Amino acid sequence: MKSQNIVELIGVIGELNTKNYSLLKEAIEKRDSIKFVSRLLNNDLIEKIECCPYCKSKSLYKWGVRNDLQRYKCKKCERTFNTLTGTPLAHLHKKGRWLSYAKCILDGLSVRKAASKCGVHRNTSFRWRHRFLKNVNKIKPDRLYGIAEVNEHVFAWSEKGCKRLKREPRRRGYKSLKYIPHDKRVFTLFCRDRGQNTYDNIYYRFSTNNITPALDKLITKDTLFCSQNKAVYLKYTKENEVRHGVLNLAIKETVKKDIVHIENVIKYQVDLQVWMERFRGVATKYLQNYLSWYREMDEFDFKISPEQILLRAMRPERYNTNHFR
Protein backbone atom coordinates (compact mmCIF):
# COMPACT_ATOMS: atom_id res chain seq x y z
CA MET A 1 0.00 0.00 0.00
CA LYS A 2 1.49 3.36 -1.01
CA SER A 3 1.88 5.97 1.71
CA GLN A 4 -0.34 8.40 -0.22
CA ASN A 5 -3.14 5.81 -0.23
CA ILE A 6 -2.75 5.31 3.49
CA VAL A 7 -3.15 9.06 4.10
CA GLU A 8 -6.31 9.04 1.99
CA LEU A 9 -7.57 6.03 3.90
CA ILE A 10 -6.96 7.66 7.26
CA GLY A 11 -8.97 10.58 5.98
CA VAL A 12 -12.00 8.40 5.43
CA ILE A 13 -11.59 6.29 8.58
CA GLY A 14 -13.49 8.95 10.52
CA GLU A 15 -16.50 8.36 8.28
CA LEU A 16 -16.41 4.59 8.53
CA ASN A 17 -18.92 2.78 10.64
CA THR A 18 -17.70 0.17 13.14
CA LYS A 19 -18.19 -2.77 10.77
CA ASN A 20 -16.21 -1.19 7.93
CA TYR A 21 -13.53 -0.06 10.35
CA SER A 22 -13.02 -3.59 11.67
CA LEU A 23 -12.92 -4.90 8.06
CA LEU A 24 -10.23 -2.37 7.20
CA LYS A 25 -8.26 -3.17 10.32
CA GLU A 26 -8.50 -6.86 9.51
CA ALA A 27 -7.30 -6.25 5.93
CA ILE A 28 -4.27 -4.33 7.18
CA GLU A 29 -3.46 -7.02 9.75
CA LYS A 30 -3.67 -9.74 7.11
CA ARG A 31 -1.36 -7.74 4.89
CA ASP A 32 1.18 -7.36 7.69
CA SER A 33 0.90 -11.03 8.38
CA ILE A 34 1.63 -11.93 4.72
CA LYS A 35 4.67 -9.66 4.82
CA PHE A 36 5.82 -11.27 8.01
CA VAL A 37 5.39 -14.81 6.70
CA SER A 38 7.23 -14.00 3.46
CA ARG A 39 10.01 -12.42 5.48
CA LEU A 40 10.31 -15.56 7.57
CA LEU A 41 10.45 -17.69 4.47
CA ASN A 42 12.71 -15.65 2.25
CA ASN A 43 15.23 -14.35 4.78
CA ASP A 44 17.71 -16.10 6.98
CA LEU A 45 15.22 -16.90 9.70
CA ILE A 46 14.78 -20.43 8.47
CA GLU A 47 17.40 -22.65 6.91
CA LYS A 48 18.23 -21.75 3.33
CA ILE A 49 17.51 -24.41 0.79
CA GLU A 50 20.79 -26.14 0.05
CA CYS A 51 19.74 -29.29 -1.70
CA CYS A 52 16.82 -30.75 -3.59
CA PRO A 53 14.33 -32.33 -1.14
CA TYR A 54 13.69 -35.16 -3.64
CA CYS A 55 17.14 -36.29 -4.81
CA LYS A 56 19.43 -34.30 -2.46
CA SER A 57 21.37 -32.87 -5.43
CA LYS A 58 23.02 -29.54 -4.65
CA SER A 59 22.87 -28.07 -8.15
CA LEU A 60 19.79 -25.88 -8.13
CA TYR A 61 18.69 -22.81 -9.92
CA LYS A 62 16.03 -20.26 -9.10
CA TRP A 63 12.73 -20.82 -10.87
CA GLY A 64 10.71 -17.65 -10.37
CA VAL A 65 8.52 -16.54 -7.51
CA ARG A 66 5.07 -17.91 -6.90
CA ASN A 67 2.65 -17.06 -4.08
CA ASP A 68 5.34 -14.85 -2.49
CA LEU A 69 7.70 -17.83 -2.33
CA GLN A 70 10.95 -18.32 -4.23
CA ARG A 71 10.78 -21.50 -6.32
CA TYR A 72 13.81 -23.61 -7.20
CA LYS A 73 14.46 -26.20 -9.86
CA CYS A 74 16.80 -29.13 -9.47
CA LYS A 75 19.20 -29.57 -12.38
CA LYS A 76 19.42 -33.28 -11.84
CA CYS A 77 15.83 -34.49 -11.38
CA GLU A 78 14.25 -31.35 -12.87
CA ARG A 79 11.62 -31.12 -10.16
CA THR A 80 10.60 -27.76 -8.74
CA PHE A 81 10.02 -26.91 -5.11
CA ASN A 82 9.97 -24.00 -2.65
CA THR A 83 11.09 -23.29 0.91
CA LEU A 84 8.02 -24.98 2.34
CA THR A 85 8.32 -28.23 0.38
CA GLY A 86 8.80 -31.05 2.88
CA THR A 87 7.55 -29.00 5.83
CA PRO A 88 4.15 -29.44 7.53
CA LEU A 89 3.04 -26.12 6.00
CA ALA A 90 3.52 -27.24 2.38
CA HIS A 91 0.48 -26.66 0.13
CA LEU A 92 -1.44 -24.64 2.74
CA HIS A 93 -3.10 -21.51 1.42
CA LYS A 94 -3.97 -18.15 3.02
CA LYS A 95 -0.52 -17.36 4.41
CA GLY A 96 -1.82 -14.02 5.61
CA ARG A 97 -3.84 -15.76 8.30
CA TRP A 98 -1.16 -18.11 9.59
CA LEU A 99 0.17 -15.73 12.20
CA SER A 100 -3.23 -15.03 13.71
CA TYR A 101 -3.93 -18.77 13.62
CA ALA A 102 -0.70 -19.45 15.53
CA LYS A 103 -1.96 -16.98 18.12
CA CYS A 104 -5.24 -18.90 18.39
CA ILE A 105 -3.21 -22.06 19.00
CA LEU A 106 -1.39 -20.35 21.84
CA ASP A 107 -4.65 -19.07 23.30
CA GLY A 108 -5.91 -22.66 23.23
CA LEU A 109 -9.00 -21.81 21.21
CA SER A 110 -11.23 -24.61 19.97
CA VAL A 111 -11.30 -25.47 16.26
CA ARG A 112 -14.51 -23.50 15.66
CA LYS A 113 -13.51 -20.43 17.66
CA ALA A 114 -10.13 -20.28 15.90
CA ALA A 115 -11.91 -20.69 12.55
CA SER A 116 -14.25 -17.77 13.14
CA LYS A 117 -11.47 -15.58 14.51
CA CYS A 118 -9.23 -16.16 11.48
CA GLY A 119 -12.04 -16.22 8.92
CA VAL A 120 -11.38 -19.76 7.66
CA HIS A 121 -13.61 -22.83 7.39
CA ARG A 122 -13.67 -25.12 10.43
CA ASN A 123 -12.17 -27.98 8.37
CA THR A 124 -9.28 -25.69 7.41
CA SER A 125 -8.91 -24.73 11.05
CA PHE A 126 -8.66 -28.39 12.05
CA ARG A 127 -6.13 -29.19 9.29
CA TRP A 128 -4.00 -26.17 10.20
CA ARG A 129 -3.98 -27.02 13.88
CA HIS A 130 -2.47 -30.43 13.33
CA ARG A 131 -0.07 -29.24 10.63
CA PHE A 132 1.19 -26.41 12.85
CA LEU A 133 1.78 -28.85 15.69
CA LYS A 134 3.28 -31.71 13.68
CA ASN A 135 6.92 -30.75 14.30
CA VAL A 136 6.38 -30.10 17.99
CA ASN A 137 5.79 -33.83 18.50
CA LYS A 138 9.40 -34.48 17.68
CA ILE A 139 10.80 -32.15 20.31
CA LYS A 140 10.92 -34.43 23.30
CA PRO A 141 13.81 -34.38 25.76
CA ASP A 142 16.60 -36.92 25.17
CA ARG A 143 17.29 -37.42 28.83
CA LEU A 144 16.23 -36.25 32.27
CA TYR A 145 18.54 -34.96 34.96
CA GLY A 146 18.77 -35.51 38.71
CA ILE A 147 15.42 -36.58 40.05
CA ALA A 148 12.86 -37.89 37.58
CA GLU A 149 9.26 -38.07 38.73
CA VAL A 150 7.28 -40.67 36.87
CA ASN A 151 3.54 -41.23 36.74
CA GLU A 152 0.96 -42.44 34.28
CA HIS A 153 -2.45 -41.19 33.28
CA VAL A 154 -5.31 -43.16 31.77
CA PHE A 155 -7.45 -41.69 29.01
CA ALA A 156 -10.53 -43.36 27.60
CA TRP A 157 -10.16 -44.41 23.96
CA SER A 158 -11.80 -41.70 21.85
CA GLU A 159 -12.92 -41.73 18.26
CA LYS A 160 -14.13 -38.13 18.31
CA GLY A 161 -14.85 -36.95 14.79
CA CYS A 162 -15.40 -40.48 13.40
CA LYS A 163 -18.72 -40.89 11.64
CA ARG A 164 -19.02 -44.57 12.62
CA LEU A 165 -17.97 -45.64 16.08
CA LYS A 166 -16.11 -48.93 16.29
CA ARG A 167 -16.88 -49.22 20.00
CA GLU A 168 -20.09 -49.58 21.96
CA PRO A 169 -21.57 -46.19 22.85
CA ARG A 170 -20.94 -45.30 26.49
CA ARG A 171 -23.88 -44.94 28.81
CA ARG A 172 -24.74 -41.42 29.81
CA GLY A 173 -23.06 -40.36 33.02
CA TYR A 174 -20.66 -43.33 32.94
CA LYS A 175 -17.59 -41.16 32.69
CA SER A 176 -15.59 -42.87 35.38
CA LEU A 177 -12.73 -45.05 34.15
CA LYS A 178 -14.06 -48.10 35.96
CA TYR A 179 -16.84 -48.33 33.36
CA ILE A 180 -14.37 -48.28 30.50
CA PRO A 181 -13.17 -51.73 29.39
CA HIS A 182 -9.44 -52.38 29.65
CA ASP A 183 -8.93 -52.64 25.89
CA LYS A 184 -10.46 -49.17 25.46
CA ARG A 185 -7.96 -47.38 27.68
CA VAL A 186 -4.98 -45.35 26.54
CA PHE A 187 -2.05 -44.84 28.87
CA THR A 188 0.21 -41.83 28.92
CA LEU A 189 3.54 -41.97 30.65
CA PHE A 190 4.72 -38.67 32.12
CA CYS A 191 8.31 -38.19 33.29
CA ARG A 192 9.35 -34.81 34.62
CA ASP A 193 12.63 -33.84 36.21
CA ARG A 194 13.07 -31.04 38.72
CA GLY A 195 14.46 -28.82 35.94
CA GLN A 196 10.95 -29.10 34.42
CA ASN A 197 11.97 -31.10 31.37
CA THR A 198 8.98 -33.24 30.56
CA TYR A 199 8.64 -36.38 28.51
CA ASP A 200 5.30 -37.90 27.55
CA ASN A 201 4.39 -40.89 25.46
CA ILE A 202 1.25 -42.88 24.68
CA TYR A 203 0.87 -46.63 25.14
CA TYR A 204 -2.04 -48.87 24.31
CA ARG A 205 -0.75 -51.45 26.76
CA PHE A 206 1.04 -50.27 29.86
CA SER A 207 3.77 -52.79 30.57
CA THR A 208 7.43 -52.75 31.53
CA ASN A 209 8.43 -54.05 28.10
CA ASN A 210 6.58 -51.21 26.39
CA ILE A 211 7.92 -48.37 28.49
CA THR A 212 11.53 -49.61 28.75
CA PRO A 213 12.81 -48.40 25.33
CA ALA A 214 11.81 -44.79 26.09
CA LEU A 215 13.04 -44.87 29.68
CA ASP A 216 16.38 -46.42 28.64
CA LYS A 217 17.34 -43.16 26.94
CA LEU A 218 15.81 -40.82 29.52
CA ILE A 219 17.03 -42.39 32.74
CA THR A 220 20.72 -42.90 33.41
CA LYS A 221 22.51 -44.48 36.35
CA ASP A 222 22.76 -41.04 38.00
CA THR A 223 19.03 -40.39 37.87
CA LEU A 224 16.80 -41.01 40.88
CA PHE A 225 13.60 -42.55 39.54
CA CYS A 226 10.63 -41.57 41.76
CA SER A 227 7.32 -43.34 41.36
CA GLN A 228 4.59 -45.17 43.20
CA ASN A 229 5.16 -48.82 43.99
CA LYS A 230 3.36 -50.15 40.92
CA ALA A 231 4.52 -53.44 39.43
CA VAL A 232 5.42 -51.87 36.06
CA TYR A 233 7.90 -49.44 37.65
CA LEU A 234 9.25 -51.92 40.22
CA LYS A 235 10.04 -54.41 37.45
CA TYR A 236 11.65 -51.72 35.29
CA THR A 237 13.96 -50.38 38.02
CA LYS A 238 14.94 -53.88 39.11
CA GLU A 239 15.75 -55.10 35.61
CA ASN A 240 17.69 -51.98 34.67
CA GLU A 241 19.39 -51.36 38.01
CA VAL A 242 18.00 -47.85 38.32
CA ARG A 243 17.96 -46.04 41.68
CA HIS A 244 14.33 -46.05 42.73
CA GLY A 245 12.57 -43.73 45.19
CA VAL A 246 9.41 -45.71 45.90
CA LEU A 247 6.23 -44.30 47.35
CA ASN A 248 3.88 -46.74 48.99
CA LEU A 249 0.47 -46.39 47.40
CA ALA A 250 -1.29 -48.56 50.00
CA ILE A 251 -0.57 -46.12 52.85
CA LYS A 252 -0.98 -43.10 50.53
CA GLU A 253 2.61 -42.08 51.00
CA THR A 254 3.26 -38.78 49.20
CA VAL A 255 6.76 -37.81 50.27
CA LYS A 256 9.77 -39.68 51.62
CA LYS A 257 13.04 -38.28 52.96
CA ASP A 258 11.92 -34.82 51.75
CA ILE A 259 13.13 -35.45 48.19
CA VAL A 260 11.24 -38.52 47.02
CA HIS A 261 7.86 -37.34 45.77
CA ILE A 262 5.99 -37.01 42.49
CA GLU A 263 4.16 -33.78 43.21
CA ASN A 264 5.57 -31.89 40.23
CA VAL A 265 4.52 -34.47 37.70
CA ILE A 266 1.07 -34.77 39.30
CA LYS A 267 0.62 -31.00 39.16
CA TYR A 268 1.64 -31.09 35.49
CA GLN A 269 -0.96 -33.80 34.81
CA VAL A 270 -3.72 -31.91 36.65
CA ASP A 271 -2.94 -28.62 34.84
CA LEU A 272 -2.89 -30.47 31.52
CA GLN A 273 -6.29 -32.01 32.22
CA VAL A 274 -7.77 -28.62 33.15
CA TRP A 275 -6.33 -27.13 29.94
CA MET A 276 -7.70 -29.99 27.85
CA GLU A 277 -11.26 -29.59 29.17
CA ARG A 278 -11.81 -26.74 26.70
CA PHE A 279 -11.57 -29.18 23.78
CA ARG A 280 -14.33 -31.38 25.24
CA GLY A 281 -12.49 -34.58 24.52
CA VAL A 282 -9.83 -35.20 21.91
CA ALA A 283 -9.56 -38.10 19.49
CA THR A 284 -6.97 -40.65 20.57
CA LYS A 285 -5.19 -40.43 17.23
CA TYR A 286 -4.52 -36.72 17.90
CA LEU A 287 -3.81 -37.07 21.61
CA GLN A 288 -0.02 -36.86 21.18
CA ASN A 289 -0.42 -33.53 19.33
CA TYR A 290 -2.27 -32.05 22.28
CA LEU A 291 0.22 -33.42 24.79
CA SER A 292 3.06 -31.91 22.77
CA TRP A 293 1.25 -28.61 22.41
CA TYR A 294 0.93 -28.33 26.17
CA ARG A 295 4.48 -29.54 26.79
CA GLU A 296 5.81 -26.91 24.41
CA MET A 297 3.95 -24.09 26.17
CA ASP A 298 5.05 -25.36 29.57
CA GLU A 299 8.67 -25.42 28.43
CA PHE A 300 8.46 -21.71 27.66
CA ASP A 301 6.52 -20.92 30.85
CA PHE A 302 3.54 -20.09 28.62
CA LYS A 303 5.44 -17.16 27.10
CA ILE A 304 5.99 -18.65 23.64
CA SER A 305 5.16 -16.30 20.75
CA PRO A 306 3.03 -17.03 17.64
CA GLU A 307 6.15 -16.38 15.54
CA GLN A 308 7.97 -19.21 17.32
CA ILE A 309 5.07 -21.58 16.64
CA LEU A 310 5.22 -20.65 12.94
CA LEU A 311 8.99 -21.00 12.76
CA ARG A 312 8.81 -24.50 14.18
CA ALA A 313 6.15 -25.52 11.70
CA MET A 314 8.34 -24.21 8.86
CA ARG A 315 11.17 -26.63 9.61
CA PRO A 316 11.43 -29.60 7.29
CA GLU A 317 9.82 -32.68 8.81
CA ARG A 318 13.10 -34.56 8.74
CA TYR A 319 14.53 -31.91 11.10
CA ASN A 320 14.83 -33.64 14.44
CA THR A 321 17.06 -31.81 16.87
CA ASN A 322 16.05 -31.13 20.43
CA HIS A 323 15.52 -27.70 21.86
CA PHE A 324 16.05 -25.58 18.80
CA ARG A 325 14.84 -22.05 19.34
Interacting residue ranges for Zn ion, rule: CB under 5 A: 52, 54-55, 57, 74, 76-77
Rounded CA Rg of the chain: 24
Q: Name the minimum Å distance from CB 54 to Zn ion.
A: 5
Nearer to Zn ion, 72 or 233 (CB): 72
Q: Name the minimum Å distance from CB 313 to Zn ion.
A: 24
Nearer to Zn ion, 29 or 317 (CB): 317
**CB 102, CB 296: distance < 8 Å:** no
Q: Name the minimum Å distance from CB 74 to Zn ion.
A: 3
**CB 243, CB 223: distance < 8 Å:** yes
Nearer to Zn ion, 49 or 266 (CB): 49
Nearer to Zn ion, 54 or 63 (CB): 54
Nearer to Zn ion, 52 or 104 (CB): 52
Q: Name the minimum Å distance from CB 124 to Zn ion.
A: 31
Using the CB atoms, write b or e for 116-132: b if 16+ within 10 Å. ebbebeeebbbebbebb
Nearer to Zn ion, 47 or 263 (CB): 47
Q: How far apart are CA 50 and CA 6, in angstroms?
A: 39
Q: Name the minimum Å distance from CB 50 to Zn ion.
A: 12
Q: Name the minimum Å distance from CB 316 to Zn ion.
A: 15
Nearer to Zn ion, 76 or 238 (CB): 76
Q: Name the minimum Å distance from CB 107 to Zn ion.
A: 40
Q: Name the minimum Å distance from CB 81 to Zn ion.
A: 8
- Which residue type does 11 have? G
**CB 108, CB 319: distance < 8 Å:** no
Nearer to Zn ion, 77 or 249 (CB): 77
Let me know if 164 is exposed, middle or buried by CB neighbors in 10 A (0-12, 13-18, 19+). Answer: exposed
CB proximity list for 212: less than 8 A, separation 6 or greater: 236, 239, 240
- Which residue type does 249 have? L
